[in-house]
Amino acid sequence: MNNHNRFASSAEVSMPVVKMLATKTVVVALATCLALLPLPVLAQNAAQWSAIEAASKKEAKVAIYHNLNPAGAELLANDFRKEVPSLNLEMTRLGSAPLIQRFSTEFSAGRHIADVVITFPDETLFEGMKGGWMAAWVPPELKNYPPAVNYQKKNMLFNIQTAREAIIWNTQRVRGNAVPKEWSDLFDPRFKDKVGMNPPWRSVAIQGIIAYWEKLGLGDTAAKLKANNVRFFEGSGGIIQAVIRGDVHVAELTDLPLNPALADGAPIGFVYPQSGTTTSEGYMYVAAKAPHPNAARVFGNWILSGRGQLLLQTYAGLSATRPGLPGLTHLPPTSKLSKPVDGLSLTPPAKQKQIVDHWRTTFGVQ
């Protein structure tokens, strides 16, 4: 199989993930939970926050860079638009690595487009925090969170959700003893031509799981997956679509779209292997040079509110960080997983480069 055939087509990537939350039961449950949650609380300085809200109406727009799952992000955006009709919300989605690179390039060039960024970080983003990328502010809702949510207590970078790496499979194509249980099953010849994943040059999360495979002693996993004719997809949404259709039978997946797909009845099985898995903390920040700084703060506070967090968890499919939220409907909490490891702890900049360079060389990708 040539390099071209190992990559998903643009049509595969652009299709809707699944019809999100279509069942009456899920909709009713969401409505019930929302009814029990308060609207965003006022800031301690009510007059100051009121001034920010008033100024945001004059700005009338907020631009978000993110890597939430596509269908869920649009549902989340629609709810925000209904609750804050004065703001025209625009969303741009990229994988974590290209998103951070884009923001960095634009910041260096003095082209300030994004007001708010939601992404999974790497060292470049943390260096950007030191280099002036992020506004320092205290969201009114922050008082409802444990201190760890506020990265290094600098009031710039806020942890809003957590993703985990999993193996998924099509339950109509993979059954019985063929069901994968461990990471090593992805390299098994029985899945040749039928295994999918995101490439590591697209996602920091994938770099983390590859580093973890190395820690487990699984050898040259790039070479093993090349031998199995792995197919690369540009995003978790593309992967889960391919598994549902049967284009691939098993896949490594950052679990962004998994809970919504299971809620919709997709024929998907999943496992977080007993040998352990990696996690990725999703963060939100307001850009220091945001074109619409007040609107950015209004959105940032909303996504930290009880309503915003529940909607984020329900639509985006990841465990949100606000205390007191109900758990994901179809996936276990991170506390119940075997040996979860922060993927970022395994991938300092030199390691990230080594992984990406090796995989690009192995697959002949420039």
Whether the CB-CB separation of 273 and 264 falls below 8 Å is answered with no
What number is the average pLDDT over the span 39-59? 79
Can you give the pLDDT at residue 267?
A: 98
pLDDT value for 102: 97
Say whether pLDDT at 33 is over 80: no
Q: pLDDT tens digits for 180-219?
A: 999 999 999 999 999 999 999 988 899 999 999 999 999 9
Backbone torsions φ then ψ of 137, nearest 5 degrees: -160, 165
Residue carrying the six token digits 């690595």: 97
Which residue reads 């391919």 in tokens? Answer: 242
Q: CA dist 28 to 82, 147, 176, Å?
A: 19, 33, 35
φ, ψ of residue 364 to 5 degrees: the values are 65, 35
330 pLDDT tier (thresholds 50, 70, 90): very high
How far apart (Å, rounded) are the C-alpha atoms in residues 216 and 214? 5
Interval 146-172 mean pLDDT = 96
The C-alpha atoms of residue 50 and residue 288 are separated, in whole angstroms, by: 20
Q: State pLDDT tens for residues 276-302.
A: 999 999 999 999 999 999 999 999 999
Q: What is the dihedral of CA 357, 359, 361, 365, to 10 degrees?
A: -100
Sequence-separated (6 or more) residues with CB below 8 Å from residue 311: 34, 75, 76, 79
Q: Which residue from 146, 13, 78, 124 is spatially nearest to 348, judged by alpha carbons?
A: 124
pLDDT of 36: 45
Six token digits for residue 100: 């951070």
The answer on pLDDT for 274 being more than 70 is yes
Residue 252's CB is within 10 A of a number of other CB atoms, namely 24
Q: Are 168 and 243 in contact (CB under 8 A)?
A: yes
What pLDDT does residue 30 have?
53
Which contiguous run of DSSP H or E holds residue 316?
helix 306-316
Q: Which of 202-206, 210-214, 233-237, 329-333 has the highest mean pLDDT?
A: 210-214
46-50, 78-82, 93-97, 325-329: which has the highest mean pLDDT?
78-82
Overall average pLDDT of the 8-35 stretch: 41
pLDDT at 251 > cutoff 50: yes
What average pLDDT does range 244-251 have in this prediction? Answer: 98
* pLDDT at 31 exceeding the cut of 60: no
Residue whose token pair is 């024929």: 267
With bands split at pLDDT 50, 70 and 90, how would you rate the model's confidence at 19?
very low
Instruction: List the end-to-end C-alpha distance of the chain, in Å, as a whole number.
Output: 18
pLDDT over 90 (residue 28): no
Tokens 């990708």 belong to 365
Q: Give me the domains of the chain, ranges plus CATH numbers.
A: 4-16+163-279+332-363 (3.40.190.10), 24-161+281-320 (3.40.190.10)
Pick from 313, 304, 279, 17: nearest CA to 149: 304
On the question of pLDDT at 13 being above 80, the answer is no
Q: 352 vs 122, 245, 298, CA distance in Å?
A: 9, 32, 34
**CA angle, 250 then 251 then 257, to 5°:** 115
Mean pLDDT for the stretch of residues 137-164? 95
| Helix, strand, coil shares, percent, the chain, to 5 | 45, 15, 35
Check if the beta carbon of residue 48 is closer than 8 Å to that of residue 294. Answer: no
